[in-house]
Structure 1
Amino acid sequence: MNFLLDPPTKQAVHHNGFKHPPMDGSLTIPELYDFHYENNPAHPVFVYKNAEGMLSHLTFSDVVPAAHTAARVVAQRAKLDLGGGGPRPTIAILAATDTITYFATVLGMLRAEITIFVVSPRNSPLAVAHLLSKVCPSHVLVSPEAPIQDLVREAIQSLGDGVTPTILSMPVFEDIFIPGVRFVPLPPRLRDLSSTRIIVHSSGSTSFPKPVTWNDRSYLQVAMVPLFGAHDLCGMTFGCHALAMFHGIGLNFIAWLASTGLVMATFPPVSPSVTPTPDAVWNGSLATSPSYLFGPPVFFEGWSRESAKLPFLRQLKGIVYGGAPLQNPIGDYLVGEGITIYTLYGSSEAGVYGALFPENPGLDWEYISMNPHCAAEFVPLGDGTYELVVIARPTTEMTIINTVFNGQNAYATSDILIPHPVHPGRWKVLGRMDDQIMLNTGEKINPGPLEEILCQHPYISSAVMFGQGRFHSGVLIDVKKQYSFNPSDTKKLQAFRNDIWPQVEKVNAEAPSHSRIFKEMIIVADPSKPFVYTPKGAPKRKVILEDYSTEIDRAYNEADNGSQITPPENLSEESSLTFARDVVNTILKHPAKDFEDIFECGCDSLQATWIKQNIAHALNSSVPKGISSVSSNFVYEHPTISSLAEYIMARVSQSQDVAKRAPDLSSILASYTKGFPPVLTDLSSLGDVILITGTTGALGSAALAKLVASESVRKIYALNRRSKQKVEISERQKQALVARGYNPEIAKSPKVVLVEGDLTKGGLQVKPHLREEAVCYNNKKSPTTDIFVAWRVDFNLSLASFETAIGGTRALVDFALSSPRENPPRLLFTSSVGIFRNNVATAPIPETSLDDPTSALGQGYSESKWISEHILYEAAKSTPLRPIVVRIGQISGGLNGSWNTSDWVPAIVKSSLTMKALPDIKGACSWIPLDFAAEALVEFRSSNPTAGTIHLVHPQPLLCRDVFKVFSDELSLPIRPFAEWINILEDMINGRPRPNSSRLTSNQLLDTIPASKTIDFYKRSLEQEDDSKDAMGVPNLAVDEALAASVAFKEQALSRKIEPQDVRIWLQYWRSVGFIH
């Protein structure tokens, strides 16, 4: 084909077994993927770190069938017949979907020859409406995130009369990556290489970005560019965590991967997709070990300031940036540190300009040579600079022509470049002829239309926006003479900013989010240093920006270190919440409620930065230096107003009230960690013998059933406290098993020895003959594993009420260390996720010791668990004991639906029947079924977790509101906001019944509304409510060690999720025991 040049044969030279595709135009991009499916099925396409912390690879044999499936899913939703002939419609994509799913969906639609219109979700509603009106797609694929849904709704409303596109759901990963299904390829189509395949759009820096069409020829020419580079990219992993698939560079990677066999490292394919913050991108890159790392300049600029990150960057084959300038001092510094820098240079309108991956450019990293498929001409501008003009030729396909050069159709880029002083053919980009501002995020701003809006204000003579190479923009204002003032008068400056603010808000409403102007970035011209104008009356932008460079630098410094909102003089819980609310809702376009995710309310990275700066300023003003370390990423980690307020107080509390109680827990801990006994080693290991406490409880009885069923277990000592009602232990054990759906004959197993007694600070209190057998170890029945399950569950008790249990923990340690076995028995202690009750982080908490006691403060139950955990950690440090702390989350019903009626979930359900409403509880339910939890716990005894800690929560939680929706349907109860539900509960407690309800006596209240006993727990949970956390404020917990420790846990994590039928079985059980009617 004469539209493609012959490349050097450099790709896949060192990659055995990879068959390079024909790059002669005989196959289109999607057909190249079909080629790879047939010839390179095992070659990886994507790599990512999965939920188990391991690397997952998706090969051509995975991705190509998924792409074909995606096309069928889209066709089914759009009611298209892929088997018929004729033209296909244009379908837009407006989504924030994960990279893998977006990639596969685009590829599948290309294969089906459905024209794709890729729309950036960073556009304003008016810009989206304009684009839709120009392109007229029949359908729009939309992802479910609230900001995306709002953007589409507002855009559609702005369209007015005419044809409105049909909104469809964007496929998710599970829709298209379906294992075990036979691959049936899409039917072939007659190809027309000139037909439009993809529609992208220009930067969107004004209210009216322009659509740009790509066809098969232009897309194949993009695919050819890396083949002319100096490096073989086959099998090379590219860190693409920061890549946006709705940008041109993202679409280019589809072409480059097809032509070279490179591998894309991404975030895992989850919904909602992972926000590519600098920290998330960095961690994703570390996990996937790329050869090359792609990112926007602002990321590399930030990482360059952290010396600890330089070794990783140095060992890469190169870092790759594009779409925006990298600051020269930063680039030079990185190169001086031994880091190779590559630049991507091109445009949506005319494709890729620069050569990709030449020989190491060294200190000439800013200078670019043109690639052979770009017919470049350089037009002198008379001052030593040149404009790049791209000529339309068969090997340079273009669909947009805006000029004629020497009689040939061409595209004038408006890019200003200068030649290398020594090396001909290498060029450096200086800026834009049309004054376009390129931020260091990769976003672009065309200031002209925005400045025109500002100048409509009666006080403003002219406006000049700035921000080249910065994170956000600002504006210089020349005030009309009759309103002029000295901007050094801060009161007058503040008053002026307030006066013109409504007009600035008009600009912010019209412009894309990255073009937003903040008050602190409004600079007023000094009358003593007036603007310089051209003879036609236009401001001389370059001269003005140079004149005011000092003021601009000062404004950025003040913005970085200052505060737009005055913080309170004293930070308390109340003032912190008010301050966080003021900060967030002053900056957001649409105010957020205290417990709403601000990013779901439309907060973007620019707004997050301003929120961070205001809160950091308040903390730096209020907290002594050295006390508080403010995370650079804390807004993403605490994405609600309430959690931001908690974060503020957590930092303040390091030197205030909460810290005063921490020594109390530490001193109690010290009293239980003195004088561990010496280890006896008279008996070698002779089998698997278990001592387990609490087998008449739910988890204990289920664990007993699993232990009896295990062939590796020889003997089980089941220790339980004596019954106050003097019921025989054998009868109690049978009842416990039956209640949870297990065979009562398990209690009669010859493996089981039922023991009545107590573990106290004084040791194990049991009958003498049992102590002789199970404790004195003068025979071969000494335990190999001790499982400590028994613990009093009452959230209203103080720490003092748990001292007996804490003493029992120390007794169990002594008990284990007295074993004559070569190695002391493994000791499994069932702790609780409740120790994180004051933890405000939303990032998954690792399975390791929690050294800060303040996290557990405020509840005797959680405080006692923290102390007991640390008794075990201290024992591990100074003795051969290797305990395992298992932090257990909420356990749901057993095999027969049995769920302790004193738990908070059944209490809510029963109370709601009287209150005539169920609560809408935010967050996830990482609840783990009883049988599942018991099997995992028993298997944990053979594990060796890195830090002696395991989290037992469901790794694939579902939304709490989905569970309560089933309750609602089954009980015919409406769902009310959690705050409203608590208000109803409080009214019932205080004798203020709702309409059509009667006042309850105290006994009736406790009987029919058991939630009344724990209203403080629900109030606290409401304060901590967050969609990013588990229900009732429990933070996200890592489960890597759990997945590694138990085969059952890993397998059932995928198969044993809570289903609507489980909820119905719980209700059936509660009815069967008379708890509800």
Structure 2
Amino acid sequence: MPGCFLCCFSAQSAGTHRNPAFRIISLFDLHLFASSLSPESTTFMPPHTYNPVPVDGALSVLQVFEFQAKKNPQHPLFRYDSPSARDGYEDIAWPAAVRMFETTANVLRRRLAPAGLVEDEDRKRPVVGILAATGSILYASLIFGAVRAGLTAFPISTRNSDVAIAHLISQSGVRWLLVSPDAHMQELARKANALLQERGVSVEMHPIPTYEEISDMQGDLNADALPELGRIGDDEVLVIAHSSGSTSFPKVVPLTHRYMKTIRGTRPMDFSGWVQSSAGSAIFHAMGILSIVRAAYSGTILAFFPPTTSAVLATPERLLQSALATKCSTILCPPMFLEHYAKDPSSIEKLRTFSRVSFGGGALAQQVGDILEASGVALVPAYGSTETGSIAMMFTRMSFLTDKRHKEGWQYFEFVPGMDAILVSIDGDASKSLFQLIIKQSPMHALALPNMEIDGVPACDTRDIVQRHPMNPGLYRLYGRVDDQIMHSNGEKTNPGPIEQILAQNSLVKSAIMFGRARPHAGVLIVPAEEVRDREAFREAIWPTVEEANKFAPAHSRLFKEMIILFTPSKTFHLTSKGTPRRHAIIEDHTQEIEDAYVAFDETAGAGEMKLADAVEIVRFHVHTHINSGVADDGDVFEAGADSLLAARVRRGIMQSLSEPHLSVPEIAIQSLPNDVVFTFPTIGKLASFVYGVVFCAASLPQAGTPFMKNVPVSILDRKDDTIVRLSEPEKGEPPLILVHGGTGLIYAFAYMQTHFNSGLWAIQVTDETPRNSFVEQTDFYYRKIKEAQPTGPYRMSGYSAGAFMACRITKLLEANGDKVIQLALIDGSPFGPLTPRVGLDTSADFNDPQSLHAHYERSVRGVCRVFRAYNDAWWTKFAAAIWERWNGRLRLEDMTELMAWMYENLIGGTLRTFDYMLSQAEAAEEGRKGYGEVLAGMVKWTGEIRAPVTVYRAANGIIKNVPLEEKEKWGAFGVDWAKEEVRIVEVDANHSNILAQDDFVKDIQKFAH
């Protein structure tokens, strides 16, 4: 599920089923749980009388905070471990916590809007973003201090890429961004801000207040400067969260006052003796945000690490020590920590002292859960999402834990009482126990982001598959995902679709199904197209295709040869009604084969003479040597004090260690470690996995063997820093044909023309010097370079693909200067390219609307991918897949090869900049509308001003193939003939990639040479 607290995997769906058990669950009977706890099972030690919060809904969330401060002044909200304290911990009672929130509110109002906050035109709260690696107590104060100041707080995950952060800021309307002082957050903010500026989005950057500032109890509070603590509308957005981005680009999820208030239940709650260790979870997640609200309504005490301005690194040892020191009743931790604890009998003994051990954020391996459960650890899965809130009942009844859990299984949970759940049967499920889960909004369960309606009621299709307990129909466990995301035990996710598609391109492969849930890395089950007699020979035969897939895949998703297993012919190849493989059934049938593969890999894991353990030891040594000896394998090195200098030292040290002769690591693999590898993989575990993958695959950076680079002469490759590359010189008195690059910014495609052109040919390419902030800036730059190289006319201009538009603007600049252009050749492109008809094009859309504009951009990106796939070439197919994954935020720029990242920025960034320019040329319309018709009319007028003779070279199997059949004749010249009466059209029997290598084309384009 997007934004999932506990991750999930594969499925199919059809048919609706309602679970009758949901109708007999009483509404929010958590008070029963508290009264059923024995003194030995938890720590109920209130030294004072606790006054429960009224649940009639009259108090706003902020007023509930105030109620706690006034009615329960001795009761803590926060607790943290403190070795110097008498009891080993310190408490922050509600009055002090509320004062911290209000102090933060005052600091923010003074810094962000000294003249006073101004509401948006629609009277919405202004939005302040938070991008900070800081202590949990300070982070909570930033969030609820912003809310108290009359703002909407938007905590942004520090694990997002710069592109995702820029997307979230622009989508949410953030005015200010609070950034912590550490180098990593500062760099992320800087990169995101640069992307926003390219889009014309302005956001103010401010430092976060320090903990010392907000915890000053002696300072002047100036509470009068804050908004009156009155009624808050149910639809007011107090906090914005975002989905995890596990299945798509992160989505903005508004958390309204109504959404938060439904936590209160229908009866007063008293959990004042309940201490929850939350130090292992992030406050910027929805679960972290809601834990504060839940504590306000229930009286739960939240235990964190000591409050600091800088972040405290959570390690398994540190978390467990803190939870014990703060006398916690329960502990919440990620699955990887439980895997660590399961190997240590003393840690298991300590876990047994907790009444509940909740896990979330990833899948817990079956064997780990079995070990802990058999040892008496009370495991409870935490399952929910940003969009829906909690789904699994975390405060599970004690009788269930003690009497039933051993029999019924640690994976199972009860749904939150009062939640209206719809269960949709999974197509083809013989067990009748698998269901796709949909949550309907109800009076006791508000949804943050519905995505459908059922009987007129908002609902959220979670896309999760749950499995009903075979004996107890009121219990369920998380089984998988409809969209097949694979969650690994280290928290990384693999999107199997694109990788499987690349593998299936091999003629020897009928189908490919990836696996790896709750495992540290992925594997693949291959269904051969024909009978296989020699399995090793088959693996070798398909290995080149696996390498292509590994080049595309992020480091944690790369495939090792030992992890390729073959489908067993004697077993059933399960298919859905649509004829597609039933992933979960096939994988389940091969459970033993998969287990055997992981065991064998663990025993022999190595690339040449290097083992995975070697990579971990090498990385750990250099991190501990150069950064901090206390960094755990899963700890973020930048949170532990790393900066760019130390990161560079770690990289150099790793490269030196890999050069040791006994490891037999190829030099090409060593040199392929990217400069920013430590920033991309900031933990020892992730960095070691990447280093090992690089050594094993030797495929991190592109080599000269990349298919479309094979025939590129050195004269082009060596001129990468020259904006104008003179491929051939003209005869005296003859102007050269100046050819502008295509969308990728490269001129490799012009290699054939260089050797077959009889006249002068100059090519323009993108270099590091090229300004790419706007279409105008880039084409102005090319114009100046042309005038430097050829001060006077006449000129011959040409542009390939996206470069055709640039060639047109350069031509207009030359003509405006009084120069004559005697030839303008547009090669499978035109100024109207972004407006050509394509599937889903909405000609009634107003591009002033951000959603309409985004939809138009997305159709353009789809069209680009379609063109590249039509090349029927493995490399270009992989690039198309990378474009789509990158566009949707599932692939970071850092995880792409250097070449693909460069091409993506030129191609997709150029597409957006080009259309921005087209919008500026739109014909004036009523109320400033910029619709398809206005933009088209503006471009007709703009293009009609060109005086040079125009020839359109159209590839028969190129761009025109994207145009619907009924529109092909109308768009035969790509719209140029609408603007100019005389347009010469030449059709070339080629596709978009090879039109430049056709003799007929090369011969024709030289007609204007004399």
Q: State the TM-score, normalized to the length of structure 1.
A: 0.49
What is the alpha-carbon distance in structure 2 between the residues aligned to residue 377 and residue 520 of structure 1? 40
Residue pair 1:221, 1:373 contacting (<8 A) in 2 also: no
Supply the AA of the counterpart residue of 1:278.
Answer: P
What is the alpha-carbon distance in structure 2 between the residues aligned to residue 637 and residue 48 of structure 1? 27
Pick from 411, 417, 440: which aligns with 1:372? 417
What is the alpha-carbon distance in structure 2 between the residues aligned to residue 602 and residue 639 of structure 1? 20
Residue pair 1:242, 1:294 contacting (<8 A) in 2 also: yes
Q: Secondary structure at the match of 1:320?
A: strand
Residue pair 1:380, 1:387 contacting (<8 A) in 2 also: yes
Residue pair 2:55, 2:268 contacting (<8 A) in 1 also: no
Pick from 63, 75, 78: which aligns with 2:112? 78
Q: Secondary structure at the match of 1:367?
A: coil
Partner of residue 175, structure 2: 138
Q: Shift of residue 217 of structure 1?
A: 1.0
Pick from 20, 27, 38: which aligns with 2:59? 27
What is the alpha-carbon distance in structure 2 between the residues aligned to residue 351 and residue 638 of structure 1? 31
What is the alpha-carbon distance in structure 2 between the residues aligned to residue 581 and residue 336 of structure 1? 37
What is the alpha-carbon distance in structure 2 between the residues aligned to residue 70 and residue 322 of structure 1? 30
Residue pair 2:524, 2:565 contacting (<8 A) in 1 also: no
Supply the AA of the counterpart residue of 1:396.
Answer: H
Q: Cα deviations across residues 182-225 of structure 1 (Å, max 9, x unaligned)?
A: 54433315521112222222221145122222101111113439
Q: Shift of residue 598 of structure 1?
A: 8.9
Q: Cα deviations across residues 765-812 of structure 1 (Å, max 9, x unaligned)?
A: xxxxxxxxxxxxxxxxxxxxxxxxxxxxxxxxxxxxxxxxxxxxxxxx
Q: Shift of residue 242 of structure 1?
A: 0.6
Q: Cα deviations across residues 677-721 of structure 1 (Å, max 9, x unaligned)?
A: xxxxxxxxxxxxxxxxxxxxxxxxxxxxxxxxxxxxxxxxxxxxx
Pick from 188, 192, 196: which aligns with 2:237? 196
Q: Shift of residue 457 of structure 1?
A: 9.8
Residue pair 1:479, 1:524 contacting (<8 A) in 2 also: no
Partner of residue 257, structure 1: 295
Residue pair 2:232, 2:257 contacting (<8 A) in 1 also: no
> Quick one: structure 1 residues 391 and 640, their matched pair in 2 at CA, closer, same or farther if it must change by over 3 Å?
closer
What are the equivalent positions in structure 2 for 1:531-542 lying under 5 Å apart? 538-542=580-584
Q: Shift of residue 309 of structure 1?
A: 1.7
Q: Secondary structure at the match of 1:369?
A: coil
Supply the AA of the counterpart residue of 1:111.
Answer: R
What is the alpha-carbon distance in structure 1 between the residues aligned to residue 686 and residue 462 of structure 2? 40
> Quick one: structure 1 residues 192 and 497, their matched pair in 2 at CA, closer, same or farther if it must change by over 3 Å?
same
Partner of residue 457, structure 2: 408
Confirm whether residue 246 of structure 1 aligns to residue 284 of structure 2. Answer: yes
Q: Shift of residue 544 of structure 1?
A: 4.5
Partner of residue 967, structure 1: none
Residue pair 2:503, 2:546 contacting (<8 A) in 1 also: no
Partner of residue 66, structure 1: 100
Partner of residue 135, structure 2: 98
Partner of residue 918, structure 1: none
> Quick one: structure 1 residues 35 and 524, their matched pair in 2 at CA, closer, same or farther if it must change by over 3 Å?
same
Q: Secondary structure at the match of 2:439?
A: strand
Structure number, greater radius of gyration: 1
Residue pair 2:281, 2:288 contacting (<8 A) in 1 also: yes
What is the alpha-carbon distance in structure 1 between the residues aligned to residue 602 and residue 239 of structure 2? 40
- RMSD between aligned alpha carbons? 4.9
Pick from 321, 335, 339: which aligns with 2:377? 339
What is the alpha-carbon distance in structure 1 between the residues aligned to residue 29 and residue 167 of structure 2? 40
Pick from 38, 50, 53: which aligns with 1:18? 50
Q: Shift of residue 244 of structure 1?
A: 0.8
What is the alpha-carbon distance in structure 1 between the residues aligned to residue 620 and residue 30 of structure 2? 64
> Quick one: structure 1 residues 637 and 503, their matched pair in 2 at CA, closer, same or farther if it must change by over 3 Å?
closer
Supply the AA of the counterpart residue of 2:480.
Answer: G
What is the alpha-carbon distance in structure 1 between the residues aligned to residue 661 and residue 290 of structure 2? 44
Q: State the TM-score, normalized to the length of structure 2.
A: 0.52
Pick from 155, 158, 165: which aligns with 1:128? 165
Confirm whether residue 116 of structure 1 aligns to residue 116 of structure 2. Answer: no
Supply the AA of the counterpart residue of 1:74.
Answer: L
Number of residues of Structure 1 aligned to a counterpart in Structure 2: 597
Q: Shift of residue 518 of structure 1?
A: 3.8
What are the equivalent positions in structure 2 for 1:679-694 lying under 5 Å apart? none
Residue pair 1:375, 1:391 contacting (<8 A) in 2 also: yes
Partner of residue 545, structure 1: 587
Q: Shift of residue 561 of structure 1?
A: 5.4
Q: Percent identical across equivalent pairs?
A: 30
Q: Cα deviations across residues 998-1042 of structure 1 (Å, max 9, x unaligned)?
A: xxxxxxxxxxxxxxxxxxxxxxxxxxxxxxxxxxxxxxxxxxxxx
Pick from 72, 76, 81: which aligns with 1:44? 76
> Quick one: structure 1 residues 220 and 558, their matched pair in 2 at CA, closer, same or farther if it must change by over 3 Å?
farther
What is the alpha-carbon distance in structure 2 between the residues aligned to residue 12 and residue 279 of structure 1? 29
Supply the AA of the counterpart residue of 2:237.
Answer: T
Partner of residue 252, structure 2: 211
Supply the AA of the counterpart residue of 1:63.
Answer: A
> Quick one: structure 1 residues 474 and 177, their matched pair in 2 at CA, closer, same or farther if it must change by over 3 Å?
farther
> Quick one: structure 1 residues 498 and 31, their matched pair in 2 at CA, closer, same or farther if it must change by over 3 Å?
same
What are the equivalent positions in structure 2 for 1:387-426 lying under 5 Å apart? 387-426=436-475
Q: Secondary structure at the match of 2:444?
A: coil
What is the alpha-carbon distance in structure 1 between the residues aligned to residue 51 and residue 256 of structure 2? 26
What is the alpha-carbon distance in structure 1 between the residues aligned to residue 52 and residue 662 of structure 2? 57
Segments of structure 1 that go 5 or more residues without pairing to the other structure are: 509-515, 586-593, 622-634, 645-1077
Q: Shift of residue 163 of structure 1?
A: 0.7
Q: Secondary structure at the match of 2:265?
A: helix
> Quick one: structure 1 residues 380 and 543, their matched pair in 2 at CA, closer, same or farther if it must change by over 3 Å?
closer
> Quick one: structure 1 residues 262 and 473, their matched pair in 2 at CA, closer, same or farther if it must change by over 3 Å?
farther
> Quick one: structure 1 residues 287 and 458, their matched pair in 2 at CA, closer, same or farther if it must change by over 3 Å?
farther
What is the alpha-carbon distance in structure 2 between the residues aligned to residue 336 and residue 576 of structure 1? 36
Partner of residue 287, structure 1: 325
Supply the AA of the counterpart residue of 2:446.
Answer: E
Q: Shift of residue 294 of structure 1?
A: 1.0
What is the alpha-carbon distance in structure 2 between the residues aligned to residue 49 and residue 306 of structure 1? 23
> Quick one: structure 1 residues 377 and 309, their matched pair in 2 at CA, closer, same or farther if it must change by over 3 Å?
same
Q: Cα deviations across residues 273-300 of structure 1 (Å, max 9, x unaligned)?
A: 1211212212222322311111122222
Partner of residue 435, structure 2: 386
Confirm whether residue 317 of structure 1 aligns to residue 355 of structure 2. Answer: yes
Residue pair 1:350, 1:390 contacting (<8 A) in 2 also: yes
Q: Cα deviations across residues 855-875 of structure 1 (Å, max 9, x unaligned)?
A: xxxxxxxxxxxxxxxxxxxxx
Supply the AA of the counterpart residue of 2:388.
Answer: A
What is the alpha-carbon distance in structure 2 between the residues aligned to residue 257 and residue 105 of structure 1? 17
Residue pair 2:135, 2:312 contacting (<8 A) in 1 also: yes
What is the alpha-carbon distance in structure 1 between the residues aligned to residue 639 and residue 67 of structure 2? 47
Q: Shift of residue 337 of structure 1?
A: 2.3
Q: Cα deviations across residues 293-338 of structure 1 (Å, max 9, x unaligned)?
A: 1112222232122111222111221211234343344334333322
Q: Cα deviations across residues 534-577 of structure 1 (Å, max 9, x unaligned)?
A: 686744422443465455435544665555566789x99xx979
Residue pair 1:484, 1:527 contacting (<8 A) in 2 also: no
Supply the AA of the counterpart residue of 1:72.
Answer: N
Question: Which deviates more, 528-537 or 557-566?
Answer: 528-537
Residue pair 1:567, 1:618 contacting (<8 A) in 2 also: no
Q: Cα deviations across residues 45-90 of structure 1 (Å, max 9, x unaligned)?
A: 2222237474222221221111112222233332265677654311
> Quick one: structure 1 residues 408 and 37, their matched pair in 2 at CA, closer, same or farther if it must change by over 3 Å?
closer
Partner of residue 985, structure 1: none
> Quick one: structure 1 residues 533 and 109, their matched pair in 2 at CA, closer, same or farther if it must change by over 3 Å?
same
Q: Shift of residue 639 of structure 1?
A: 13
What is the alpha-carbon distance in structure 2 between the residues aligned to residue 472 and residue 214 of structure 1? 35
Residue pair 2:124, 2:236 contacting (<8 A) in 1 also: no
Supply the AA of the counterpart residue of 2:560.
Answer: E
Residue pair 1:476, 1:522 contacting (<8 A) in 2 also: no
> Quick one: structure 1 residues 338 and 192, their matched pair in 2 at CA, closer, same or farther if it must change by over 3 Å?
same
Confirm whether residue 173 of structure 1 aligns to residue 211 of structure 2. Answer: yes
What is the alpha-carbon distance in structure 2 between the residues aligned to residue 56 and residue 100 of structure 1? 13
